[in-house]
A and B are shown apart, each in its own frame.
Chain A
Amino acid sequence: MAEPLLQVENVSKHFGGLRAVDGASLAAEQGRITVVIGPNGAGKTTLFAMITGFLRPTSGSIRYDSVDITGEPPHRLARRGIARTFQIVQPFPALTVRENIAVGSHLRHAKRADALAAASATGEAVGLGGQLDKPASALTVAGRKRLELARALAIGPRLLLLDEVLAGLNPSEVRDMVPVIRGIAARGVTILMIEHVMQAVMSLAETVYVLSEGRIIAQGRPQAIASDRLVVEAYLGRGAAAQMTEEAVHA
């Protein structure tokens, strides 16, 4: 089997005495959807920040496309094809939706007109077609999440990291977004996502990693993880396992 597109090996990040990530390893297979779950404060966002170059790991290494990328700055990683969304959305508030996305498109298109055209196409693909001329600050929560996704897609990534893009959406908005994400994967983009919405995890994930207190405590297919009552009870809190199986049944 080919080497995974992304391989995180024994990575740690310490903030003073706090071990936010503590020797975590994971892999994202080419063209697959891999999901990281875990309670709040487990270190998921910190892990993503290291993969995308926003934080330098205290120790450990990160390989992407057979190259060691540990410690490379974010803009270089973006040029290598690694895109991310932010859990706390980070729009360019004064710009329109189209202009927001075009900042990403510019990575592949030097000309303004080309970048704007590409941005419109990307915007439409994630369902922002009707809002391209609105200022980003005028979007709803769901709209802002879509914008995060559109901007990341606009750089033409090979690896896409999504940090809770479904959080804060209502069930019908989640139902709208799930096929969008699946569609992206279907076009060959490798996806690594952090997600709490279990319904989506169950239906999208091919591999699930469970992060708790900075460590990977379990990994496997979603059904296996979901039925691993002990893991779920211990690390997602009491009642989570029941909820998960229930959602799996309804899905």
Chain B
Amino acid sequence: MKGLAPIATVAVLLALVPFITASNAVLNFLVMAFLIALAGQGWNILGGYGGQYSFGHAAFFGTGTYVTAVLQVRYGMNAWLCFALGIAGGALVGAVIGGLSFRSGLRGSYFALVTLAFAEVLRIVASVAPITGAGVGTLIKLDLRPEAFQFQSRAPFYWVLLALLVVSLILTRIIEDSRFGAYLVALRENEDAAKALGVDTTLVKLGAMTISAAITAAAGGFYAQYFLFVDAGIAYGPWISVEALLAPIIGGVGTVFGPLLGALVIRTLGELTKIVAGDAPGLDLVIYGSVLVAVVAFAPRGIAGLIERVRGRLTPPAAPSLERSHG
């Protein structure tokens, strides 16, 4: 299949990083960036390709996190199995929210609102329900064995996450090249026209939301294993809804590498903020918010769009750029 070569190249280069540096700071940074990239890739399937902007992807991230943690702690199940069930749980939550929203015909601002509200409901429930550890949170017992999805060092965590990320990139590429993907993009561009051509837009959106939720839930499950701690503010908090959306929008919505690019950028900005201003709560998000506004204003197609524009200037004008019309 064409288009897999860039993904393979990126995968190999990134897999080599732990051999080049053993610095925990570097690996930590990349783990957080990949985590956001993975969550963002989930958002990108639905928002970037399908044009349905969710403001509540925390609902899926958090479900992945809690299912992974709670099943282990309360029922002593195997961590990998819990992780898989976390992904399934996220997908289920996505299917339910999507089913309700799309069947009610919610789109645009209303879809954004309702996803945000669902995430908030889950956050409040998680902060009072006994099974989630309520306000205290849930701590996963230290058990540094690969069978328990815990490792002695950062590098194996890094490779597992990288593998998940690469799977999400390949999946996105496959979707791009499939009928499902063509239908998804078509309904983003013009829903009525898509319907007239035989596209069951409700079903396609629902499918996209389910896949999207599963990917973001995988990021959540990984988070639980990496930090071994979950509480409602982390799992279902607005921070992840914002970062999951920010990464693809900054990197380039509806592109395979957009979320990864964007995640690296926002995490770099976050680190720079910390270096300049210390660990000041809120300042990183102030910068993310400004970047979001600036990107929408000046580079609506993100970094990917900028690259394309530069490339368009370098190549002869015969190849027209794919600038999206605002008509």
A and B: direct contact (Cβ < 8 Å)? yes
Cβ distance B246 to chain A, nearest Cβ, rounded Å: 21
The majority secondary structure among interface residues of chain A is mixed
Instruction: Check A215 for interface membership: any CB of B closer than 8 A.
Output: no
**Are A104 and B197 interface neighbours, CB within 8 A?**
yes
The distance in angstroms between the C-alpha atoms of A52 and B183, with both chains bound, is: 19
The distance in angstroms between the C-alpha atoms of A84 and B195, with both chains bound, is: 10
Question: Given A91-B190, A92-B190, A137-B325, is A74 in contact with B179 using a C-beta cutoff of 8 Å?
Answer: no
Chain A interface, number of residues (Cβ within 8 angstroms): 35
Cβ distance B325 to chain A, nearest Cβ, rounded Å: 4
Q: Which residues of A contact B325 (CB under 8 A)?
A: 93-94, 135, 137
Given contact pairs A74-B195, A92-B186, A104-B198, enumerate 9 new A-B contacts (beta carbons under 8 Å).
A54-B196, A90-B192, A92-B185, A93-B189, A94-B185, A95-B189, A96-B322, A104-B197, A106-B183
Cβ distance A58 to chain B, nearest Cβ, rounded Å: 20
Instruction: Check A37 for interface membership: any CB of B closer than 8 A.
Output: no
Cβ distance A134 to chain B, nearest Cβ, rounded Å: 6
Per the 8 Å Cβ criterion, residues 77-97 of A in contact with B are: 78-79, 83-84, 86, 90-96
Interface size class of B (residues with CB under 8 A): 20 to 34
- Closest A-chain residue to B193, C-beta based? A90
Q: Which residues of A contact B196 (CB under 8 A)?
A: 52, 54, 74, 78, 83-84, 86, 90, 152
Q: Which residues of B contact A54 (CB under 8 A)?
A: 192, 195-196
**B contact residues vs A (CB 8 Å cutoff):** 177-179, 182-183, 185-186, 189-190, 192-201, 320, 322-325, 327
Q: Which residues of B contact A112 (CB under 8 A)?
A: 177-179, 182
Interface 1/0 per residue, A123-156 and B, CB below 8 Å: 0000000000011011000000000000110110
Instruction: Check A211 for interface membership: any CB of B closer than 8 A.
Output: no
The distance in angstroms between the C-alpha atoms of A151 and B182, with both chains bound, is: 14
Q: Which residues of B contact A107 (CB under 8 A)?
A: 197-198
Q: Which residues of B contact A111 (CB under 8 A)?
A: 179
Q: Which residues of A contact B192 (CB under 8 A)?
A: 54, 74, 86, 90
**Are A103 and B178 interface neighbours, CB within 8 A?**
no
Question: Given A74-B196, A78-B196, A86-B192, is A115 in contact with B320 using a C-beta cutoff of 8 Å?
Answer: no
Q: Which residues of B contact A52 (CB under 8 A)?
A: 196
**Are A106 and B185 interface neighbours, CB within 8 A?**
no
Q: Which residues of B contact A79 (CB under 8 A)?
A: 198
**Are B179 and A155 interface neighbours, CB within 8 A?**
no
Question: Given A75-B201, A93-B189, is A103 in contact with B195 using a C-beta cutoff of 8 Å?
Answer: no
The distance in angstroms between the C-alpha atoms of A106 and B183, with both chains bound, is: 9
Question: Given A73-B195, A83-B196, A92-B186, is A106 in contact with B322 using a C-beta cutoff of 8 Å?
Answer: no
From B197, B199, B324, contact of A94 by CB (8 A): B324
**Are B320 and A102 interface neighbours, CB within 8 A?**
no
**Are A78 and B190 interface neighbours, CB within 8 A?**
no
The distance in angstroms between the C-alpha atoms of A182 and B199, with both chains bound, is: 28
- Closest A-chain residue to B204, C-beta based? A75
**Are B182 and A103 interface neighbours, CB within 8 A?**
yes
Cβ distance A161 to chain B, nearest Cβ, rounded Å: 10
Q: Which residues of B contact A99 (CB under 8 A)?
A: 182
Cβ distance A165 to chain B, nearest Cβ, rounded Å: 14
From B199, B322, B327, contact of A75 by CB (8 A): B199
Instruction: Check A18 for interface membership: any CB of B closer than 8 A.
Output: no
**Are B320 and A135 interface neighbours, CB within 8 A?**
yes
The distance in angstroms between the C-alpha atoms of A54 and B198, with both chains bound, is: 12
**Are B195 and A75 interface neighbours, CB within 8 A?**
yes
